[in-house]
């Protein structure tokens, strides 16, 4: 502080006029900036447009013109939070001269995400999450099954239109004045701080959810924008409070194993069949059938241990049910809508049923009558301990559905071949595909009508046609079950067979349409000829593996041991289910993301050198005819086999398992010939040395 003397001899404080002037000018500048914003319509953009956009997105999610308005009325705070998030995103336009272009582009992106969510919800119950962005390749393949040519063309046209509009926003709308960063940045920070504060208050007060157990309901309650944004940042398993060596060590200490089991015969094979979109349709209300669509499965459920099977997904997400069964881990502990097959398991080996059984002399086989790279299974299965993976690229299917899925009957021979391939006990995990959507709504669709479906409450003929198609696929899947059981009974080996549905079909079934259970419950059954006993009981998908291993006297694996110990403790009443699940989450974190304290700090599981196809594809001989037709002779070729000449794929005709033909081959001396099964495997190169031979 500086004192100055007046002429009358008194003193006064010197004011920092320069500093005060800067503050005054800055405040005046903000006022002017605000006035300019009002004049230029920015306030309208930051208030009205976010509100309208949230209403539009929620209407698309609910498939109702009034859906957005209903969201505003019944969930006003969640609506406000979603609108504040959009408004904050819009303020980033203040950093650019083309502010309106940025605002409209951001709005278009949000709208397209909402539209994509609305489309997804036509085919499944689970809303769109960021994890779906990792499934684009698989999604395009599946889309062809659900949409006809006009539908696909419509989507392409919409995307092109969106691209044109997006470009127009940047190229056609004129630029404004140069951004005043000293004024716009504080506004942006204030907008994001306000949005963050609103979200924080909502989460603390319970007006916004932080855990999404029922994903579909959470999206409806909290809004698409909030939930989708949460799925972008919420991945993996968060580090538990109190995570330490002591807490992890307590989870499996003093585990003594289950009571000994005496087998009637030799140590049993284990066959698990995951049935695509399969459940007991006799649970449907007001729907009748000309005959029981599932005679074999329902008979098994009556005669052998069975019950409700709780799965984490509805209508889609097969691999998350599969993940829980194979690892014993709870998918609810991972990020919102996350697919571990697409994230952590692509890079990391993990304890599984296969690893636990292999330590007892088992050979581990995976079989799937669909493409091997679907959901990246060809990359994930080695990290789950499988020795051989036979996908459809290594099969010779004889029958396909009307929507071009392989019929599951082909799995009988594949499972038998796997069991016959070794003298040791085998673990076979088979994933079916026949029940997969889409389900045609046209009554004239060409397929075998084994069962006639009728309903006293469903008046939509197209919807009833879809159910009818689905039920008739289930009928054939049930015939597959009968043939599989017949084959296993005819063998001279003890076997445990477990079958379950991965999720309900994408047919908009609701709890109200079911006579029992929920849409998150399918059915399971356990058959065996090894003298093992199981009880009828409902099961979570992650409980199946430890239950099975316990009866087989297998206590290997930290997750398996924890489940078996905790199950006994819950039966004794010493721990609650909540404590059981919380500790399971801690163990999952330690194994996949933490310090692997449970393993002494070092992962004991090493990825296998998994073989694609039980019988390897081999080239025996290559010859070139006078007509420049390249004939490749070998073993185990399929219709997926592709001839490569010096690494370049050539037009390939499949004749039979021993012969492939390349018409009009352009080949030179010493060219290297290989045969690839899609992108999954490739033969040892065959060096071509004889340019021409007689026919």
Give 427's Cβ-side CA count (13 Å radius): 22
Determine the pLDDT at residue 305: 97
Model confidence pLDDT, tens digit, residues 294-322: 999 999 999 999 999 999 988 888 999 99
* pLDDT bucket at 31, cuts 50 / 70 / 90: very low
The three-state DSSP-derived secondary structure of 315-329 is CCCHHHHHHHHHHCC
* Phi, psi of 335, rounded to the nearest 5 degrees: -65, 165
Please give the average per-residue pLDDT across 109-129, as a whole number.
84
Give the C-alpha separation, 238 to 334, whole Å.
8
Taking residues 465-474, report their average pLDDT.
96
Nearest to 579 by CA among 240, 236, 325, 321: 240
Which is it for the CA torsion 591, 594, 597, 603, positive or negative? positive
Q: What is the pLDDT of residues 483-516, one digit of tens each?
A: 999 999 999 899 999 999 999 998 989 899 999 9
Contact yes or no for 91/188 (Cβ under 8 A): yes
Ordered strands of the 539-540 beta sheet:
539-540, 306-310, 521-528, 495-501, 269-275, 426-431, 363-368, 388-390, 611-612
Asked if residue 368 has pLDDT above 90, the reply is: yes
SS3 for 165-207, per residue? HHHHHHHCCCCCCCCCHHHHHHHHHHHHHHHHHHHHHHHHHCC
Token pair of 47, please? 């208030």
Cis before 640? omega within 30: no
pLDDT value at 256 more than 50:
no
The CA-based angle 270-276-281, given to 5 degrees, is 110
Average pLDDT of 124-140? 69
CA angle 591/592/598 to nearest 5° reads 10
Residue 77 has pLDDT above 90, yes or no: yes
Is residue 267 within 8 A of residue 309, CB to CB? The reply is no
Residue 210: how many CB atoms within 10 A of its CB? 13
d(CA 552, CA 260): 8
Alpha carbons 102 and 93: distance in angstroms, whole number: 5
For residue 293, the tally of other CB atoms under 10 A from its CB is 23
In contact, 649 and 685? CB cutoff 8 Å: no
The reported pLDDT for the residue numbered 669 is: 83
The C-alpha torsion from 104 through 105 and 111 to 115, rounded to 10°, is 140
- Write out the two tokens for 297: 């499965």
Residue 423: phi, psi to the nearest 5? -95, -10
Q: Which two tokens stand for residue 685?
A: 């190169």
Q: Tell me the per-residue pLDDT of 180-204, one tens digit each, with 9 for 90 and over.
A: 788 889 989 999 999 999 999 999 9
Instruction: Assess contact for 123 and 315: CB atoms under 8 A.
Output: yes
Provide the pLDDT for residue 171.
62
- pLDDT of 145 strictly over 70: no
Report the DSSP pairing between strands 495-501 and 269-275: parallel
- Going by pLDDT thresholds of 50, 70 and 90, the confidence category of residue 29 is very low
- Residue of 379, 466, 404, 405 lying closest to 276 (CA atoms): 405
Question: Which of the two residues, 167 and 307, has the higher pLDDT score?
Answer: 307
Number of other residues whose CB lies within 10 A of the CB of residue 539: 18
The whole-angstrom separation of Cα 267 and Cα 557 is 19
Neighbours of 585 (CB within 10 A): 18
Mean pLDDT, rounded, for 533-557: 94
pLDDT at 691 over 90: no
User: Residue 524: which of 510, 503, 495 has the closest Cα?
Assistant: 503
- pTM reported for the whole predicted model: 0.82
Residue 373: other Cβ atoms inside 10 A? 17
Of 119 and 525, the one with more pLDDT: 525
């Amino acid at each position: 502080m500086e004192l100055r003397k007046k002429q009358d001899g008194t003193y006064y404080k010197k004011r920092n006029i320069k500093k005060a002037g800067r503050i005054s000018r800055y405040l005046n500048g903000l006022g002017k900036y605000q006035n300019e914003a009002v004049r230029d319509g920015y306030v309208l953009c930051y208030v009205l447009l976010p509100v309208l956009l949230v209403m539009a997105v929620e209407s698309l999610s609910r498939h109702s013109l009034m859906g957005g308005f209903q969201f505003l009325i019944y969930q006003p705070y969640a609506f406000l939070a979603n609108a504040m998030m959009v408004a904050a995103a819009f303020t980033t336009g203040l950093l650019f001269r083309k502010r309106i272009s940025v605002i409209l582009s951001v709005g278009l992106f949000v709208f397209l995400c909402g539209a994509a969510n609305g489309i997804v919800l036509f085919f499944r119950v689970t809303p769109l999450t960021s994890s779906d962005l990792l499934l684009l390749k698989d999604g395009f393949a599946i889309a062809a099954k659900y949409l006809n040519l006009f539908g696909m063309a419509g989507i392409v046209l919409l995307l092109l239109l969106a691209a044109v509009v997006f470009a127009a926003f940047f190229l056609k709308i004129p630029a404004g004045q140069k951004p005043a960063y000293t004024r716009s940045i504080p506004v942006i920070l204030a907008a994001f701080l306000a949005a963050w504060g609103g979200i924080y208050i909502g989460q603390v007060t319970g007006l916004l959810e932080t855990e999404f157990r029922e994903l579909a309901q959470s999206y409806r309650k909290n809004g698409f924008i909030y939930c989708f944004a949460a799925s972008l940042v919420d991945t993996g398993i968060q580090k538990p409070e109190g995570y330490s060596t002591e807490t992890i060590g307590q989870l499996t200490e003093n585990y003594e194993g289950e009571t000994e089991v005496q087998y009637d015969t030799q140590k049993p094979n284990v066959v698990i069949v995951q049935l695509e979109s399969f459940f007991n349709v006799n649970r449907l209300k007001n729907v009748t059938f000309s005959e029981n669509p599932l005679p074999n499965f329902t008979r098994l459920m009556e005669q052998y241990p069975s019950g409700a099977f709780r799965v984490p997904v509805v209508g889609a997400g097969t691999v998350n049910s599969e993940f829980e069964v194979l690892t014993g881990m709870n998918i609810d502990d991972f990020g919102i809508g996350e697919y571990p097959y697409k994230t952590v398991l692509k890079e990391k080996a993990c304890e599984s049923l296969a690893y636990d059984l292999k330590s007892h002399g088992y050979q581990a086989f995976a079989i799937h009558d669909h493409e091997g790279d679907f959901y990246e299974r060809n990359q994930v299965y080695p990290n789950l301990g499988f020795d051989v993976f036979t996908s459809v690229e290594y099969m010779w299917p004889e029958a396909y559905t009307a929507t071009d899925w392989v019929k599951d009957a082909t799995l009988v021979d594949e499972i038998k071949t796997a069991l016959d391939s070794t003298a040791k006990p085998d673990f076979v995990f088979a994933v079916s595909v026949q029940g997969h959507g889409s389900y045609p709504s046209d009554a004239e669709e060409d397929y075998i009508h084994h069962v006639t479906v009728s309903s006293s409450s469903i008046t939509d003929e197209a919807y009833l046609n879809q159910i009818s198609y689905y039920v008739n696929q289930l009928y054939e899947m049930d015939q597959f079950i009968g043939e599989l059981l017949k084959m296993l009974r005819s063998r001279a080996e003890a076997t445990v067979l477990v079958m379950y549905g991965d999720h309900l079909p994408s047919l908009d079934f609701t709890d109200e349409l079911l006579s029992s259970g929920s849409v998150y419950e399918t059915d399971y059954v356990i058959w065996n000829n090894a003298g093992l006993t199981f009880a009828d009981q409902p099961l979570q998908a992650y409980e199946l593996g430890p239950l099975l291993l316990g009866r087989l006297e297998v206590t290997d694996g930290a997750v398996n041991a924890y489940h078996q110990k905790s199950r006994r403790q819950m039966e004794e009443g010493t721990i609650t289910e909540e404590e059981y699940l919380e500790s399971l989450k801690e163990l999952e974190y330690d194994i996949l993301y933490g310090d692997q304290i449970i393993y002494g700090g070092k992962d004991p599981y090493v990825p296998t050198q998994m073989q694609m196809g039980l019988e390897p594809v081999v080239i025996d001989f290559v010859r070139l005819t006078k007509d420049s037709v390249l004939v490749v002779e070998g073993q185990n070729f399929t219709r997926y086999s592709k001839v490569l000449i010096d690494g370049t794929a050539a037009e390939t005709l499949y004749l039979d398992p021993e012969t492939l033909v390349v018409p009009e081959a352009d080949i030179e001396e010493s060219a290297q010939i290989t045969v690839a099964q899609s992108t999954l495997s490739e033969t040892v190169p065959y060096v071509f040395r004889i340019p021409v031979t007689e026919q």
